[in-house]
């Protein structure tokens, strides 16, 4: 059975229908990879936002399936999405290029430099929270504010993951199905959808999500490479050094990254804000979009 780390989905939004096309798009050329990005909104005096999606192995496409982030951009700020190396449109990757956290942080810094943002807000969703924390530890001078939304822990070993306690029957059925399908891309996509079945609070919203999300942009080989490269990463000691405003968000019923993980990060970061979405699992921006927009906009002010 594939490691569950491959399926740590850090999804931000999807609920009210697909968003319109991005305002602009472009590519950041680096020696290792061409990083594709999309920008919503126009330049303004407001702090820009760079959203760091989860996975590992997913593109950012799932984050723009509803109007949460376009609406935040329409309020008067730029919101940037990008595809991590080897995913989505960022598929021009040098043979043998690293999937380490240092490489992920370098890509994010290349994106910030390309867009000429002196300081910006970083929103890290699930696994993307790990990248955002690593970036903030290395380049704190460019972080105006940080949002960790149902984020992975600063070390994989400290992630509180309670699927086995809550879904033993589903995990057993999923394992049997994976064994029957074998180690194929089709099996990986099926396993991913099986995983999504367990990360919602609302069955109705879960079913609506899965009905609308035909292609989750999942590359299992990238996911496995990233999981392996970051297996021993530990950013625990970096968190108390954060001096910028930080908000930690969690869904009350997040079985993928239990609220205890978010609580521990909140307690480790001096002056952080802790927000719980009482009717959400791992995807509060999907399950409670109106509250999510309000919470983000209040924090950005």
Length of the chain: 301
pLDDT at 14: 37
- What is the tens place of the pLDDT at every residue in 152-164? 999 999 999 999 9
Phi-psi region of 6 (alpha: psi -120 to 50; beta: other; left: phi over 0): alpha
Which portions of the chain are predicted below pLDDT 70?
1-22
> Which residues are within 8 A (CB) of 31 and not within 5 positions of it... i.e. 6 or more apart?
94
| Alpha helices (H) along the chain | 68-74, 101-115, 127-138, 163-166, 168-181, 185-196, 203-212, 220-229, 259-268, 284-287, 289-300
Token pair belonging to 269: 């970061």
Note whether 122 and 142 are within 8 A (CB). Answer: no
Helix, coil or strand: residue 250: strand
Q: How far apart are CA 276 and CA 260, in angstroms?
A: 11
The two three-digit tokens of residue 16, written as one number? 């009210």
Q: Which domains does the chain possess?
A: 4-300 (3.40.50.1820)
Question: In sequence order, what are the beta bridge partners of 273?
Answer: 247
pLDDT in tens, 31-84: 999 999 999 999 999 999 999 999 999 998 878 878 899 999 998 999 999 999
**Rounded CA gap, 64 and 57, in Å?**
17
Q: Centre a 10 Å sphere on the Cβ of residue 17 and count the other Cβ atoms it contains.
A: 10
């Amino acid at each position: 059975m594939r490691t569950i780390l491959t399926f740590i989905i850090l999804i931000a939004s999807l609920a009210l229908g697909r968003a319109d096309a991005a305002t602009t798009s472009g590519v950041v050329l680096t020696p290792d990879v061409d990083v594709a990005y999309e920008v919503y909104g126009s330049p303004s005096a407001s702090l820009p936002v760079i959203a760091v999606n989860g996975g590992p192995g997913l593109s950012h496409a799932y984050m723009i399936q509803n109007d949460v982030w376009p609406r935040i951009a329409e309020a008067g700020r730029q919101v940037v999405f990008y595809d991590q190396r080897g995913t989505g449109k960022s598929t021009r990757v040098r043979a043998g290029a690293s999937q380490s956290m240092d490489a992920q942080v370098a890509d994010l810094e290349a994106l910030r430099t390309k867009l000429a943002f002196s300081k910006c807000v970083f929103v890290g969703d699930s696994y993307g929270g790990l990248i955002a924390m690593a970036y903030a530890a290395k380049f704190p001078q460019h972080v105006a504010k940080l949002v960790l939304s149902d984020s992975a822990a600063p070390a994989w070993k400290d992630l509180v993951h309670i699927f086995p306690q809550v879904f033993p029957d589903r995990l057993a059925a999923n394992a049997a199905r994976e064994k029957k399908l074998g180690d194929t891309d089709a099996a990986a996509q099926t396993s991913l959808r099986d995983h999504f079945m367990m990360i919602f609070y609302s069955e109705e919203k879960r079913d609506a999500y899965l009905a609308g999300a035909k292609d989750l942009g999942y590359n299992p080989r990238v996911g496995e490479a990233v999981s392996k490269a970051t297996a021993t990463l530990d950013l625990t000691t970096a968190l108390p050094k954060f001096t910028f405003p930080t908000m930690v968000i969690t869904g009350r019923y997040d079985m993928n990254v239990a609220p205890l993980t978010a609580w521990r990060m909140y307690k480790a970061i001096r002056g952080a804000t802790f927000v719980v979405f009482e009717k959400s699992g791992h995807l509060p921006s999907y399950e409670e979009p109106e509250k999510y927009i309000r919470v983000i906009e209040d924090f950005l002010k």
